[in-house]
Structure 1
Amino acid sequence: MQRLAGRIILLWGWRRALVAFLAGALAVLGQAPYDFFAACFLSFPVLVLLLDGAAGEAGAGPLGRLKPAFAVGWWFGFGYFLAGLWWIGGALLVEADSFAWAMPLAIVGIPLVLAFFYGFATAVARLMWSDGIGRIAATAFGFALAEWLRGFLFTGFPWNAIGYAAMPVPLMMQAVSVIGMNGMNALAVFVFAMPALLAGRRHIWAGAALAALLVAADLGFGYVRLAAPEPPASRHLDLRIVQPSVDLSEKWDASVRDRIFATMLAMSSEPPQKGHEKPQLILWPETAVPFLFTERPDALTAIGDMLTDGQMLLAGAIREEGPATAGGDARYYNSVVAINDQGEIVDAVDKVHLVPFGEYLPFDDLFSRLGIDQFVAGPMSLSAGSSRHPITIPGSIQAALFICYEVIFPQLVGVDVASSELIVNVTNDAWFGDTPGPYQHFRQAQVRAAENGLPLLRVANNGISAVVDPRGRVVDALAINARGVIDVRLPIWRQDTVSAGQRTTNGFVVIILLVATSLIAIATTRLRAN
């Protein structure tokens, strides 16, 4: 082991970059749909050993001394994000004639940019480098800080945060309800990197004991929380999730819109599945309505005719608002509209966190002059909603709605569900086909349920649609590319969790403890050297 470790430490040039790249790519196996988290116990120790050998030249300035460590982290991140996000390019093939040219930008460009976060992580870690367990804590601190920044800088994109690799099943998800994603990211890297101690002689047994204690605490807390009896349900909700699996090549084709809409109505009005009651609530996916209601008011009449007394439909739709001034342009929103049994829109929630280049074009004046428009989504550029509020659904239940990838932002969800009893996530992952993308998206939504102690209803055009209980367990689901409905009688109960703010605080306490461990290790090393 020490001989192999020595070879890794002494790598330089393209060999060091290649090993870092491969280690990052290997770490993706810890994410859905693979869930082979054991791969991280190899990739992160390799990263630590590469950082052991990433000392800068003695005569270089502060930034120069960190350059080798930054390069190691950047190559690790490039491998991680390239292997984990390559499927994004599939969205550009839906309209290949117009957007195939941009595939290199999506497949390679996004990982190139995101890799800077992991380069930052390893540079920060190298600032606190020592021997033994101190460098493990420094690595975990650097990655926890980088993942936190990745959640909000440049609009934020915390997809495939390292902590998800430590939560492949509900048993291992429960701790996130206490320490949040910040804490899970920190502890995941800390435990994953611990085998690097086997390459030396210091702290081996202490590290093994600490890693075992953390894993046991996570599993023990998960077991206790899952084994606890469910509290009495305050109410029950009979609901239907409709997964139509519409071909995106037809989505905005005027010649087939009526057929798509008729299919949605027919699936929604099917008799209840055996053993279930008539649904009080019906859910359609993101942008399921294939036209604007302002252009087709007869569609609302058809929906009202389909719904029976007391039923409500939550449907993903593009919502149009007329120009604020004469001669102005209309504004369009990616929305979920609530329609009652009279065919009336009684409430709506607009998507607040839009996808750059997908739903709107940042710096649109500049890009428009270059002839570049948004790459995917609908036939128009969208505006962001100003705020989000819960929608009251049958049974006077307060439902917090999140459209598409809004659900991957822990803080956004945690704040907005504070006064809600149910999380609803509508999405359209059909852009990405049967690739890892929809599975990764579903896993992150599933973790939001366990994190906030609330049931989750997820409705996707082509999957994965599912009902998830407040502890993150899947009650029922439809597979990718399946067409069908889910009928469920959902008990409404909330699993007690700490608040979103307290989870954030607890996560930073974990991060501070890692900093303290690193500083103690540095001080001990210097004392031994003297």
Structure 2
Amino acid sequence: MNDAPRSVGRLRYRWWLALLGGAAASLGQAPFGLWPVSLVALAFIIHLAQSRPTRRSMAAALWWVGTGYFLASLNWLVEPFMVDAARDGWMAPFAVVFMAGGLALFWGAAGAAAFRLGPFGLAATLSLAELTRSLILTGFPWALIGHIWIGTPVAQLAALGGPHLLTILALLVAALPVALRRPLPGFAAGVALTVLLIGAGWLRTTLVPIPETPANAPIVRLVQPNAPQDEKWDPMKSGTFFERQLTYTEAEPRPDLVVWPETAVPYFLETAPGAIEVMADAAAGIPVVFGIQRYEHPRYFNALALLNAEGEVGQVYDKAHLVPFGEYVPFADLLAKVGIHGLAANEGGGFSSGVAGSQVVLPGIGPALPLICYEGIFAEEVNATETRPRVLLLITNDAWFGKFSGPYQHVAQARLRAIEMGLPMIRVANTGVSAMIDPHGNLIESLPLGEAGFLDVPLPEALPATPFDRFADWLAIGVILATLALGLHHARRNRVDAESPEP
């Protein structure tokens, strides 16, 4: 009579265990950076999945794990809805829960696909799930498993195969102890593989050193006004932030380039001739990159513009990869009737997309690949330009992401883009973290989160084109498929063993 309640209790306990295991696996993400904890948690997750007796239960276990992982790592998703809490706050819990549960479906599918494929098969299908969620439905490659390596030497291997190579390597480390089925040898094998990967990353920085920055390198000024999102567009306060940027721009000694953050100018480009004239006076012939909104009725754009030495706006880049439900809303007119609006869009149904892969030429520096905020998280798009730029140029407004995990995860991904491409990155954020990032992903100098100020930093030299720059994800896909082959071999061997008659 009591067996059924006890069985349900054990079932619930396993799902809570799966949720906690997923949350623990997220601790390798910024701002914690506890990558050893993530590796141990991933090994536990693979072991938990392997104990499931049916395909359905294995898929369910991985869905619960994924839900815990994404709830913990994407907790910052609450923040954009709280900027205007009276209008949007009611959506925050739904957005976070549905986002976590939705992304966890990819992990659940990986669990179903890996049934009977063993630990290595699950490592391969989880890697494919992470690759898939990075690409479909406009993609969302935030908090990828491979991001736990950022800040360690292993991150250097992204220059070979991008973020998905880092993901499969993390999962191989976690799968190895489970595959060996013996705790002590398995743990030793996982540690040995981790040490090997760290050594390989260190070797890459030794064999491909960054050239010394010349004495006459261009000096770039990073301007961080620190405008809180709930005050940024307030007519009583926006002028203060604009004046702050002007003051930082005209400070002596003069740099070779000044960079302001995303939407730094609180006017539309077409209605801002007075503001542009004041900026030109402050710059005194120094080029200024700045973020601004513009329109070509009925279309609106989130743009990056270059104020040239003559005090004219010479080049404009319109953001190409927009944030769904942030900068545009599908079926905007219909959803607006039930109170759903684009959080970052000031006009109509949101922004329109620009042309992806466009470059701007920075005087005295050369071609730069412009990236506005969200665009910096897409490795496949950053390396999709026809010609190799001299530098990556990212402007952003991370005030949307709060002050805990979001901004730090965003800058961590910027570091990875620099490693993948072998290029320096100029990163300027409204509230921080603004930084000059070298081609090995190091923050040469940075302005902390939540502080106003500016930095003058020499631009580092670029490295030669990396394998990832040339071949994109193909090396990572090759490693994933090889790992999947191990899983298929495991399934075939188990099937043969099951069919063999007992002696």
For residues 154 and 387 of structure 1, the distance between their equivalents in structure 2, rounded to whole angstroms, comes to 17
Q: Report the counterpart of residue 486 of structure 1 in structure 2.
A: 455
1:147-296 → structure 2 map (5 Å cutoff):
147-169=130-152, 171-197=153-179, 200-201=181-182, 205=185, 211-212=190-191, 214-228=193-207, 229-231=209-211, 236-272=217-253, 278-296=254-272
Which one-letter code corresponds to 1:162 in the other structure?
Answer: I
CA distance in 2, matches of 1:508, 1:158: 16
* Residue 277 (structure 2) pairs with residue 301 (structure 1): yes
User: 1:224 and 1:338 mapped to 2: Cα distance?
Assistant: 39
1:136 aligns with one of 104, 115, 119: 119
Question: Structure 1's 50 and 97: CA in aligned 2 closer, same or farther, altered over 3 A?
Answer: same
| 1:340 is aligned to 2:323 | no
8 Å CA contact retained: 1:45, 1:192: yes
Amino acid at match of 1:409: F
Contact in 2 for aligned 1:177/1:503 (Cα 8 Å): no
Separation in 1 of the partners of 2:336 and 2:346?
17
- 1:21-100 matches, within 5 Å, as 21-56=19-54, 66-100=55-89
Give, in angstroms, the shift of residue 342 of structure 1.
2.4
Q: Deviations over 1:320-352 (max 9, x none)?
A: 22x3xxxxx3x1111100111322111011111
Unaligned runs of 5+ in 1: 1-9, 57-65, 130-134, 273-277, 324-328
The residue type paired with residue 427 of structure 2 is R
Q: Report the alpha carbon displacement of residue 124 of structure 1 after superposing the two structures with TM.
A: 1.5
1:7 corresponds to: none
User: Is the CA contact (8 Å cut-off) linking 1:334 and 1:351 kept in structure 2?
Assistant: yes
1:320 counterpart = 2:295? yes
Whether the aligned pair in 2 keeps the contact of 1:232 and 1:493 (CA below 8 Å) is no
Give, as a single letter, the amino acid of the residue that structure 2 aligns with 1:150: R
Structure 1 residue 208 displacement after superposition: 5.6
| Contact 1:354/1:360 (8 A) holds in 2 | yes
Query: How far does residue 103 in structure 1 lie from its aligned partner after superposition?
Result: 1.2
Structure 1: distance between partners of 2:195 and 2:231: 50
SS of the residue 2:52 aligns to: coil
Q: Distance in 2 between matches of 1:418 and 1:46?
A: 44
> C-alpha deviations, 1:74-109, integer Å up to 9, x for none?
100110111111211111111111111111122222
Q: Which amino acid in 1 is paired with 2:290?
A: A
Cα gap change, 1:177 to 1:420, in 2 (>3 Å): same
Task: Kindly indicate whether the alpha-carbon contact (under 8 Å) linking 2:213 and 2:458 is maintained by their aligned counterparts in 1.
Answer: no
**Contact kept? 2:25, 2:37, Cα under 8 Å:** yes
Cα distance, 1:417 vs structure 2: 7.7
Equivalent of residue 522 in structure 1, options 480, 491, 496: 491
Contact 1:237-1:492 at 8 Å conserved across structures: no
Task: Give the structure-1-normalised TM-score.
Answer: 0.87
Question: What is the number of residues matched between the two proteins?
Answer: 489
Q: Which moved more, 1:299-308 or 1:448-457?
A: 299-308
Distance in 2 (alpha carbons) for counterparts of 1:79 and 1:499? 31
Find the counterpart in structure 2 of residue 120 from structure 1: 109
In structure 2, the residue matched to 1:4 is: none
Aligned residue among 107, 115, 129 for 1:146: 129
**Contact conserved, 2:220 with 2:258, CA < 8 A, in 1?**
yes
C-alpha distance after superposition, 1:25-84 (max 9, x if no partner): 11111111101011123322222232223222xxxxxxxxx2211111110011011111
| 1:205-230 Cα distance to aligned partner (Å, 9 max, x none) | 4x567645543442222222223443
Quote the offset at 1:373 in angstroms: 1.7
1:305: Cα distance to partner?
1.0
- Report the Cα distance in structure 1 between the residues aligned to 2:193 and 2:48, rounded to whole angstroms: 25
> For residues 56 and 497 of structure 2, what CA distance do their matches in structure 1 show?
28
Q: Provide the secondary structure at the position in 1 that maps to 2:395.
A: strand
Deviates more, 1:151-160 or 1:234-243: 234-243
Determine helix, strand or coil for the equivalent of 2:459: strand
- The more displaced of 402-411 and 501-510 is 501-510
Is the 1:257–1:291 contact (alpha carbons within 8 Å) kept by the matching residues of 2? no
Partner of 1:5: none
Aligned 8 A contact 2:24 2:38 in 1: yes
Q: Which residue is 2:437 aligned to?
A: 468
Read off the aligned partner of 2:44 and give its amino acid letter: V
- Given that 2:306 and 2:315 are in contact with CA atoms closer than 8 Å, whether structure 1 keeps it comes out as yes
Cα distance in 1 for residues equivalent to 2:95 and 2:496: 50
Check if 1:419 corresponds to 2:388: yes
Give the CA RMSD over aligned residues. Answer: 2.2
Task: Give the counterpart letter for 2:217 in structure 1.
Answer: H
Measured in 1, the distance between the counterparts of 2:193 and 2:417 equals 22
- Offset of 1:476 from its aligned partner? 0.3
The whole-number CA distance in structure 2 between the counterparts of 1:299 and 1:436 is 34
State how 1:475-514 maps to structure 2 within 5 Å. Answer: 475-500=444-469, 502-514=471-483
Letter in 1 for 2:342: Q
TM-score by length of 2: 0.92
CA distance in 1, matches of 2:387, 2:17: 44
Aligned 1:392-411 pairs, distance under 5 A: 392-411=361-380
Aligned mates of 1:356, 1:288 — CA distance in 2: 22
Q: For the structure 1 residues 417 and 98, does the alpha-carbon distance in structure 2 shift closer, same or farther, using more than 3 Å as the test?
A: farther
| Amino acid corresponding to residue 292 of structure 2 in structure 1 | A
What secondary structure sits across from 1:416 in the alignment?
Answer: coil
What is the DSSP-based 3-state SS (H/G/I as helix, E as strand, rest coil) of the residue aligned with 1:333? strand
Contact 1:349 1:401 in 2 (8 A): yes
Q: 1-side partners of 2:394 and 2:96: how far apart?
A: 26
CA distance in 1, matches of 2:310, 2:238: 23
Match of 1:275 in 2: none
Q: Work out whether residues 392 and 425 of structure 2, in 8 Å CA contact, stay in contact via their aligned partners in 1.
A: yes
1:350-361 aligned at under 5 Å gives the runs 350-361=318-329
Residue 345 of structure 1 aligns with an amino acid whose one-letter code is V
Q: Given residue 194 of structure 2, which amino acid in structure 1 is its aligned partner?
A: V
Q: Which amino acid aligns with 1:163?
A: G
